[in-house]
């Protein structure tokens, strides 16, 4: 092979997209020393999106003091693209599941307030164009935490402000927006998301994702009821019925809250990032594309990196392999252009060992070398 493009997402909790690309490159060069390997670290609106965009455009980063999903003070970062005009904020920096240990997972208690603090700082520094990547959240609060940090008030029957967490959505009966930041009038907010789910229902934010954030069956039902109740309040005040639009269920309803209250535009994260990186140009002349993510499962086909990459490669008739730490047999992947799915983790290897970065790197190199020789 003369040219291979490596365009993988991160292996969540294990390797960044850049580290995955480096491991794949090592495997390729071991078999095809003269092969041109084009590494394109990818993201889909989740963790790593900010770094991918800022580094690709030669932008820079800002530190920020904010709060984690349980309102503990933390240090986070946000970025500015190379154009000097566009701020990039990653929800996972302040409201991500990675900031909690498993005993703390509880989407009834977590909040996106810390992400709102970061947005407020970018606005105060004069940035009106903002990209917000919302994957990897620990929350199910429909963005009321984030919006509270920007000056919105969510009130209960007694007129008291409701604590902005997922478990309190059902208490909200009215919304006060008279104290919102004046900078919001001119904001141009684009939401990079990695799913296409509606706000509530069997395919909504709670039923599809809350279990990953610590919810049991009963909590999931309560969270879904809270989302439904909040949507009714919003519809009554703003005459808005956006709750069934694909993508508004992302990040526990953050897509919904920001579309309704800040007129945000929802875009597929992976596709938008590939446009920024001019991915079609990078593909020209490639013999193979290798993509992947930590888990290739039922979510992969709904806007995740491997399928988005495969669709672009298919337009140029380039075969695509997808690698994953763990994989499932997903109907439809072949139709999207993925000709081979490769499981990186050996059968029987314990999860703790498989998630060790050094082990994961070694697994990728070993399995891909075997695949390239077969």
Nearest alpha carbon to residue 363 among 328, 9, 353: 353
- Position 196 scores a pLDDT of 83
CB under 8 Å to 341, separation ≥6 — which residues? 296, 321, 322, 323, 324, 327, 330, 333
CA distance from start to end of the chain? 13
Length of the chain: 374
pLDDT in tens, the chain (374 residues): 999 999 999 888 789 888 999 999 999 999 999 999 999 888 877 777 898 889 888 999 999 999 999 999 999 999 999 999 999 999 999 999 989 999 999 999 999 999 999 999 999 999 999 999 998 899 999 999 999 999 999 999 999 999 999 999 999 999 999 999 999 999 999 998 877 899 999 999 999 999 999 999 999 999 999 999 999 999 999 999 999 999 999 999 999 999 999 999 998 888 888 988 889 999 999 999 999 999 998 878 776 899 999 999 999 999 999 999 999 888 888 899 999 999 999 999 998 999 999 999 999 999 999 999 98
Q: In what order do the strands lie in the sheet with 73-80?
A: 60-67, 73-80, 86-90, 129-133, 188-193, 265-268
How wide is the angle at C-alpha 75 spanned by C-alphas 73 and 79, nearest 5°? 135
The C-alpha atoms of residue 6 and residue 14 are separated, in whole angstroms, by 18
- Position 298 scores a pLDDT of 80
- Position 55 scores a pLDDT of 86
69-93 in b/e form (b: 16+ CB < 10 A) is bebeeeebbbbbbeeeebbbbbbbb
Q: Give the phi and the psi of residue 327 in degrees, each rounded to 5.
A: -140, 155
Listing DSSP states for 168-203 in one string gives GGGG--EEE-TTS-GGGGG-EEEEEES----SSSTT
- Position 207 scores a pLDDT of 96
105-159 residue pLDDT tens:
999 999 999 999 999 999 999 999 999 999 889 999 999 999 999 999 999 999 9
- Position 210 scores a pLDDT of 96
Contact (Cβ atoms closer than 8 angstroms) between residue 243 and residue 259: no
Which domains occur in the chain, in start order?
3-42+296-373 (3.40.50.10350), 49-269 (3.90.1510.10)
- Tokens of residue 176, six digits: 């006060």
- Position 297 scores a pLDDT of 86
């Amino acid at each position: 092979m003369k040219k291979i493009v490596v365009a993988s997402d991160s292996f969540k909790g294990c390797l960044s997209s850049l580290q995955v690309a480096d491991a794949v490159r090592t495997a390729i060069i071991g078999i095809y020393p003269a092969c041109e390997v084009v590494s394109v670290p990818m993201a889909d609106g989740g963790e790593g999106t900010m770094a991918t965009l800022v580094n690709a455009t030669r932008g820079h980063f800002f530190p920020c003091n904010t709060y984690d999903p349980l309102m503990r003070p933390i240090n986070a970062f946000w970025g500015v693209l190379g154009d000097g005009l566009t701020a990039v904020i990653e929800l996972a920096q302040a409201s991500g599941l990675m900031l909690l240990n498993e005993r703390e997972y509880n989407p009834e208690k977590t909040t996106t307030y810390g992400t709102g603090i970061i947005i407020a700082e970018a606005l105060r520094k004069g940035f009106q164009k903002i990209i917000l990547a919302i994957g990897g959240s620990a929350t199910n609060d429909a963005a009321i935490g984030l919006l509270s940090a920007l000056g919105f008030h969510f009130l209960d029957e007694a007129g008291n402000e409701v604590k902005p967490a997922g478990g309190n959505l059902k208490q909200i009966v009215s919304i006060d927006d008279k104290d919102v930041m004046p900078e919001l009038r001119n904001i141009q907010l684009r939401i990079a998301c990695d799913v296409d789910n509606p706000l509530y229902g069997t395919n909504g934010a709670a039923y599809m994702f809350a279990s990953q954030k610590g919810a049991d069956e009963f909590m999931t039902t309560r969270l879904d009821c809270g989302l439904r109740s909040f949507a009714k309040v919003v519809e009554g005040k703003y005459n808005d019925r956006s709750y069934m639009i694909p993508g508004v269920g992302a990040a526990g309803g953050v897509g919904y809250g920001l579309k309704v209250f800040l007129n945000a535009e929802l875009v597929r994260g992976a596709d938008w990032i590939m446009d920024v990186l001019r991915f079609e140009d990078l593909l020209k002349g490639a013999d193979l594309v290798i993509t992947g993510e930590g888990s290739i499962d039922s979510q992969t086909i709904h806007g995740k990196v491997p399928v988005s990459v495969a669709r672009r490669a298919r337009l140029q008739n380039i075969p695509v392999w997808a690698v994953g730490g763990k994989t499932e047999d997903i109907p439809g992947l072949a139709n999207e252009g993925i000709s081979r799915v490769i499981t990186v983790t050996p059968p029987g290897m314990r999860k703790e060992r498989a998630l060790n970065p050094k082990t994961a790197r070694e697994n990728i190199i070993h399995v891909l070398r075997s695949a390239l020789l077969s």
